[in-house]
Amino acid sequence: MADIHLYNAPQSTCSQRVRFALHAKGLEFEESKLDLFSGDQLKPEYLAINPNGVVPAIVENGVPVIDSAVILEYLEDTRPEISPMRPADAVGAAKMRAMMRFIDEVPTPAIRVPSYNLAFLPHFQAMTEEEFQALCDSKPLRREFLMRMGRTGFPEKDMEEAMGRLKRGIERMDGWITESGGPWVMGDRLSLADLSIMPVIVRMDDINLGHLWADRPQIATWLDNIRHRPEFKKTYYHGSLLTEKYPHLAKLREEKEGV
């Protein structure tokens, strides 16, 4: 039996970070796939592991570790010799952590807005107002986020703000690659900063926002490079992309690509 048990959801961007890290380090783990729309993450047995009621979480030897960025660092702390993805020097590690902080403050929350409007909204529109309010009130961490969205989706102002934040994320990432010389964010070695930004870039491409880096070829090259990593296919198994679950998104993508 594997020592690590991963609780996650296939399409969760934060879960995708952790899956990639586990595969990159060649670690065996048990995986529980939670159905977020059925409320698996809000059941008492999961809240006992992660009281925030979000994914992912891991449990190793009976001890839970929560929050994807914390889990990434935990895996480095406990297995630094296996496929290291954090600079060994303090200055480099601090630089990487600053990148991760920016990613988690700017593009990561921003990608949730178009994701919810384009893919998840029908789930909430099918609810009554009372059901939706009850769902919001059950969320330990994301109550206000859902309340702001409502059953009609995020307004145009919120979408514009999210797109602006995503553009800033792309600009910052492009600058990092230029400064480091690439091909990765911090140079010739994959780092936790790459894993942190990866789900945002993959999600943007999946929901037809790849045009935001049309004039920044380094981002397209970075995406091609990470897609060719063996860990990528293991991380993005079928059902991990929104276009694989929501036919209307796949149709929009096909129309955009002229398929």
Question: pLDDT digit string (tens) for 171-183?
Answer: 999 999 999 999 9
Asked whether the predicted pLDDT for residue 1 surpasses 70, the reply is no
Task: Extract the tokens encoding 15.
Answer: 């879960």
Task: Reply yes or no on whether the pLDDT at 235 is more than 70.
Answer: yes
Average pLDDT (112-140) is 92
Q: Which of 89, 22, 14, 96 is nearest to 56 (CA)?
A: 14
The pLDDT tens digits of the residues spanning 148-169 come to: 999 999 999 999 999 999 999 9
Q: Provide mean pLDDT across the span 122-136.
A: 91
Per-residue confidence at 224, pLDDT binned at 50, 70, 90? very high
| pLDDT tier, 253 (very low <50, low <70, confident <90, very high otherwise) | confident
In the structure, what pLDDT confidence band is assigned to residue 250 with cuts at 50, 70 and 90? confident
The residues facing 184 across adjacent strands are 187
| Domains assigned to the chain | 4-78 (3.40.30.10), 90-257 (1.20.1050.10)
Mean pLDDT for 38-52 is: 96
Work out the percent of the chain whose per-residue pLDDT is above 90.
89
Residues 6 or more apart whose Cβ sits within 8 Å of residue 27: 2, 4, 75, 79, 82
Question: CB–CB of 42/67 below 8 Å?
Answer: no
Position 251 confidence tier, pLDDT thresholds 50, 70, 90? confident
pLDDT for 19 beyond 90: yes
Classify residue 77 by burial, with Cβ atoms within 10 Å: 0-12, 13-18, 19+: exposed
Mean pLDDT of 187-191: 98
The pairing of strands 63-66 and 4-8 is unpaired
Residue 221 has pLDDT above 90, yes or no: yes
Q: Is the pLDDT of residue 256 over 60?
A: yes
Residue-averaged pLDDT of the chain: 95
Give residue 258's pLDDT.
65
pTM over 0.75: yes
Sign, CA dihedral 249-105-138-54, equals positive
Does the pLDDT of residue 259 top 70, yes or no? Answer: no
Is the pLDDT confidence value at 249 over 90?
no
Say what the pLDDT of residue 154 is: 94
Q: Is the pLDDT of residue 233 over 60?
A: yes
How does pLDDT run across 51-76, given as a tens digit for each residue? Answer: 999 999 999 999 999 999 999 999 99
